[in-house]
Amino acid sequence: MNKHRVKDDIPIRVINGHNEVHAIHDELRTQLGELYYAISKSYLYSLISKRTGYCPKRIAYILNHTTSCRDNLDN
């Protein structure tokens, strides 16, 4: 059995959750402007965690290992 999942096998609710994390991260980046680069990742992850309910470790994984699929879902 293949342990690696194909992108087409990922449930839509998981993709929506990933998109939500990416959207919040982009929103925080634009709101903070130049301060974005001075704030620790753990603080940003805690802000995202409060809005999504995901743990910071999961948020870090989503931001570092996935891309936003917002454009692909609209088609």
Q: Is residue 2 part of a domain?
A: no
Beta-carbon contacts of 22 under 8 Å, excluding residues fewer than 6 positions away, are 62, 63, 66, 67, 68, 70
**In the predicted structure, residue 72 carries a pLDDT above the cut 70:** no
| 46 part of a folded domain | yes
Greater pLDDT, 46 or 71: 46
Residue 13 resides in a domain: yes
Provide the H-helix boundaries in the chain. Answer: 12-32, 41-52, 56-65, 70-74
The answer to whether residue 1 scores a pLDDT higher than 50 is: no
Structural domain total, the chain: 1
75 lies in a domain? no
Tell me if 1 is assigned to some domain. Answer: no
- Say what the pLDDT of residue 5 is: 54
Q: Flag whether 4 is in a domain.
A: no
- Is 14 within a domain? yes
Model pLDDT for residues 24-55, shown as the tens digit of each residue:
999 999 999 999 999 999 999 999 999 999 99
pTM of the predicted protein model: 0.78
Torsion angle (degrees, nearest 10) of CA 24, 30, 32, 35: 120
Domain that holds residue 33: 9-69
